[in-house]
Amino acid sequence: MKWLLLLSLVALSECYIYKVPLVKKKSLRKNLMEQGLLQDYLKTHSINPASKYLKEAASMMATQPLENYMDMEYFGTIGIGTPPQEFTVIFDTGSSNLWVPSVYCSSPACSNHNRFNPQQSSTYQGTNQKLSVAYGTGSMTGILGYDTVQVGGITDTNQIFGLSETEPGSFLYYAPFDGILGLAYPSIASSGATPVFDNIWNQGLVSQDLFSVYLSSNDQGGSVVMFGGIDSSYFTGNLNWVPLSSETYWQITVDSITMNGQVIACSGSCQAIVDTGTSLLSGPTNAIASIQGYIGASQNANGEMVVSCSAINTLPNIVFTINGVQYPLPPSAYVLQSQQGCTSGFQGMDIPTSSGELWILGDVFIRQYFTVFDRGNNQVGLAPVA
């Protein structure tokens, strides 16, 4: 069974109900000072500053491997508690909360997934706070607690996270992952919970206030999230930086979407979020319907938008122009191939915002472009994958 993952869309109402102020990020110097490590750092860097800094920076980058599940979902394993209890989670740049199933949950979706047991962790601290998160598909309610999280080989202490009590519906029951680890801004975190990356940075556990993502294609391995660093071996050329238009999701402005030099959608610019938690490339239903027509997609009896597999060799690139730079999507990227045939990588979904309808640059896009999510400078970096 294939699951279409549209996890990223924390209900827009929640974005405003739970809005919290953004906290100014600390510098590396301030982090080191607070940890009592500044003098040692300066001492060890005085003889050969360049090489020592590179060595230090490399040691403060955490690499989290991800599993590619049918090119539809990417998840990795984390540990929560002392001793660690293991969970597979989606690393989702379209939401901001960490949550996993718990022993308090009686929903069918919890019965066939790993469940966190607070009584088996010596470092768990409970709260009376409630948590409720809704996604494009699936939702959860539960309580918030604090514990140690092992992610990417580093230890994130005193991390707030959700323990699910209900996970209604069938989507999460069939999901091959346990929970979700949100990587968007604190401003859209439900119940004002501090996101994992913010907590990692505030503890001085990484040397750069950014993380980067590589998603493999064709069910291949090697997908990673790199906290605190950029590995240039994953991309070609230079990173192009795109300023954020909103510090909520990783939201940017797209100039236009063209095919053969003609605008086919997003005329006069549109807003989009770069979202690892969404499988396809989504946009307003009318605009997507036009694109489906351009690529010859038609709906089958199961509601899937099917495309002739032979069209992959004849269809043109669809080009997303972002901040003046062209990012072509070849037909091999936007036509999804499987043993059952070929389907469109585009899906219509109307998400109204104050700045217009929202597009979602999901995994279909990110597989083609190594992406850096730069919190320190509120920008996204994009470069073609190697």
**3-45 per-position pLDDT tens digit:** 344 444 433 333 322 222 333 344 444 444 555 554 543 433 3
Calculate the alpha carbon distances from 145 to 53, 93, 134 in Å.
36, 22, 19
Active-site residue, selected from the candidate residues 92, 156, 178, 198: 92
Model pLDDT, residue 36: 54
Model pLDDT, residue 18: 27
Residue 109 DSSP class? H
CB 234 within 8 A of CB 385: yes
Model pLDDT, residue 35: 53
Model pLDDT, residue 34: 55
- Let me know if 221 is exposed, middle or buried by CB neighbors in 10 A (0-12, 13-18, 19+): exposed
Model pLDDT, residue 59: 52
Q: What is the largest CA-CA distance in the chain?
A: 69
Model pLDDT, residue 157: 98
| Structure tokens belonging to residue 181 | 């680890």
Could you give the CA distance from residue 89 to residue 201 in angstroms, rounded to a whole number? 20
Catalytic-residue membership of 275: yes
Question: What does residue 43 show for φ and ψ, rounded to 5 degrees?
Answer: -60, -50
CB 250 within 8 A of CB 244: yes
| Structure tokens belonging to residue 216 | 């493999």
Exposure b/e, 31-49, CB count within 10 A at least 16 = b: bbeeeeeeeebeeeeeeee
Calculate the alpha carbon distances from 8 to 43, 155, 275 in Å.
44, 26, 7
Q: What is the distance, to the nearest Å, from the Cα of residue 9 to the centroid of all Cα atoms in its chain? A: 11
Q: Locate tokens 């003098």: which residue? A: 39
Could you give the CA distance from residue 157 to residue 160 in angstroms, rounded to a whole number? 9
Model pLDDT, residue 352: 84
All residues at 6 or more sequence positions from 156 whose CB lies less than 8 Å from its CB, including other chains: 148, 149, 150, 196, 199, 200, 203, 205
Model pLDDT, residue 159: 98
Please give the angle made by the CA atoms of 178, 181 and 184, to the nearest 5 degrees. 150
| Structure tokens belonging to residue 318 | 């669809």
Question: What does residue 119 show for φ and ψ, rounded to 5 degrees?
Answer: -70, -15
Model pLDDT, residue 353: 81
Domains and CATH numbers, the chain: 12-227 (2.40.70.10), 233-384 (2.40.70.10)
Model pLDDT, residue 27: 46
Model pLDDT, residue 271: 97
- Let me know if 272 is exposed, middle or buried by CB neighbors in 10 A (0-12, 13-18, 19+): buried
| CA neighbor of 288 nearest in space, from 358, 347, 229 | 347
Residues in the chain: 386
Model pLDDT, residue 136: 80
Catalytic-residue membership of 178: no
| CA neighbor of 15 nearest in space, from 190, 136, 176, 201 | 190
Q: Which amino acid is at 344?
A: S
Model pLDDT, residue 218: 87
Radius of gyration of the chain (CA): 21
Calculate the alpha carbon distances from 307 to 3, 11, 120, 263, 380 in Å.
19, 31, 50, 21, 32
Could you give the CA distance from residue 122 to residue 16 in angstroms, rounded to a whole number? 35
Kind of pairing, strands 346-348 and 281-283?
Answer: parallel
Model pLDDT, residue 355: 77
| CA neighbor of 223 nearest in space, from 232, 239, 234 | 234
Tens digit of pLDDT at every position of the chain (386 positions): 333 444 444 333 333 222 223 333 444 444 445 555 545 434 333 334 343 333 344 458 999 999 999 999 999 999 999 999 999 999 999 999 999 999 999 999 999 999 999 999 999 999 999 999 998 878 999 999 999 999 999 999 999 999 999 999 899 999 999 999 999 999 999 999 999 999 999 999 999 999 999 999 988 899 999 999 999 999 999 999 999 999 999 999 999 999 999 999 999 999 999 999 999 999 999 999 999 999 999 999 999 999 999 999 999 999 999 999 999 999 999 999 998 999 999 999 998 887 788 999 999 999 999 999 999 999 999 999 99
Active-site residue, selected from the candidate residues 71, 147, 209, 275: 275
